[in-house]
Structure 1
């Protein structure tokens, strides 16, 4: 829980009114976010403004299914690409969970962490302290901070300030993870069917209220059952994952891409009419057709059929009706020989 009540009064005495005010303001900004990158940027802004540390580095788990870390590295307020040869963050989080320290010095970490290779990798960042992102459920990441620029090591009051900011960040990151789990398909990392339906309802309301146009693509992998029968379900899962990756890279950041179910996908295209949506769909179709899917016995050739529909306020009353229109176009693509795009009239 973030500091409150008597704990805030105690902090007030130690840190001072201005520091306490900053902590509450930053905490409010951080906990209002559900996007991981925005949470981290708010924390970095606060720490850099307060301490002018040369760098700030976050390590958090990639997701529930992968232990490799995602690294957010900032030099000043500028995000920098950083490659650390750390195949797993699990041992780091386990080490930090074994005690209740709100921070440890890197010297202590170096002496006590059992894997010298991990110590050497982290030492490249020249950290002074390591701050765990701790919640009631455990540690969900860590922050590496080098010494303050030109003003000596962190003081006890500095550490208290950092600890309280990080407590807010830990809660916000936990909430972001819960939101991700509730809205994301675990296999493909696309949005889930349930969240797709919610988003589609919102787009329909917006179209009715403001007259905005938008379109829907329904996409199905051709002859997918044959791939599963011939190559096994693991190969089928790999194809689904690769197609999800192609979809993400083929649309805009404002577009909404979901796994509709099984081998079927859906894409909502805001502010795009049927003609524009057909162009997007054809680009996706060609990208998948040209893509070389890896298989145990060589490259596999995969195609998709796509149905396109534009939302019509005057004749589509519900989301189900709209989906049915896009589905009709999809089935027309199948009936006409597959590997094609059909626009519902």
Structure 2
């Protein structure tokens, strides 16, 4: 039997039938040398809010179909309001770009990092809560260990707080993972910075 599978010409990832862009790297199906710029955030160079949300929906549907786990980490820069006051918009944007590179380097090749306008989102397919905690710990250590040139001395060392949401194969149900992880993050930030905050229960 002849395979009808379509793979991305840039990264090799499998593409869904009828898809115009690769869900892994956003390369156009008909033009593998051209990146789909409209799905990329202009400040960080990461996937933007719209693409990241669509990717989470797609990956959640796939996880439900095949009864596989999926997790999402939502992260916010600690003390961001003070950083913005000290640096202003242009230098703050430089710091976000540098942070985006650190985050992209701290996750697996199968994971995706996006920027939602005021927070980062890491999509972790095939990852249960325990695995996501390991990933979150790796991310926090990578961020805290990096010396940020864009920090200009005062903010050369920064940290993140994260919210974590997971859908497990034995408790499947349609969930807004980004919203759930964001709520966990917001609810837990009063407990201190540089921590991971979990969703208490997900169906």
Give per-residue Cα distances to partners, 1:102-131, cap 9 Å, x unaligned: xxxxxxxxxxxxxxxxxxxxxxxxxxxxxx
TM, length-normalised to structure 2? 0.77
Which segments of 5 or more consecutive residues in structure 1 lack a partner in the other structure? 1-31, 39-170
Aligned length: 176
TM, length-normalised to structure 1? 0.47
Per the TM alignment, residue 316 of structure 1 is displaced from its structure 2 partner at its CA by: 4.2
In 2, Cα distance between equivalents of 1:286 and 1:201? 28
In 1, Cα distance between equivalents of 2:91 and 2:97? 10
Which segments of 5 or more consecutive residues in structure 2 lack a partner in the other structure? 1-5, 13-29
Give RMSD over aligned pairs. 2.3
**Whose helix proportion is higher, 1 or 2?**
1
- For residues 235-254 of structure 1, the aligned pairs below 5 Å read 235-254=91-110
Partner of 1:257, secondary structure, is strand
- For residues 225-244 of structure 1, the aligned pairs below 5 Å read 225-244=81-100
Give the match for residue 278 of structure 1.
133
In 2, Cα distance between equivalents of 1:242 and 1:33? 30
Q: Which structure's CA Rg is the greater one?
A: 1
- For residues 151-166 of structure 1, the aligned pairs below 5 Å read none
In 1, Cα distance between equivalents of 2:77 and 2:9? 31
In 1, Cα distance between equivalents of 2:47 and 2:152? 29
The 8 Å contact of residues 34 and 172 in structure 1, kept in 2 or not, is answered as no
The 8 Å contact of residues 256 and 268 in structure 1, kept in 2 or not, is answered as yes
Question: Is residue 269 of structure 1 aligned with residue 124 of structure 2?
Answer: yes
**Counterpart among 317, 325, 330 of residue 174 in structure 2:** 317
In 2, Cα distance between equivalents of 1:298 and 1:184? 29
Per the TM alignment, residue 317 of structure 1 is displaced from its structure 2 partner at its CA by: 2.4
Per the TM alignment, residue 212 of structure 1 is displaced from its structure 2 partner at its CA by: 0.9
| 1:214–1:231 distance in 2 versus 1, CA, 3 Å | same
Question: Is residue 185 of structure 1 aligned with residue 41 of structure 2?
Answer: yes
**Counterpart among 336, 340, 344 of residue 191 in structure 2:** 336
In 1, Cα distance between equivalents of 2:155 and 2:65? 48
| 1:334–1:37 distance in 2 versus 1, CA, 3 Å | closer
| 1:302–1:218 distance in 2 versus 1, CA, 3 Å | same
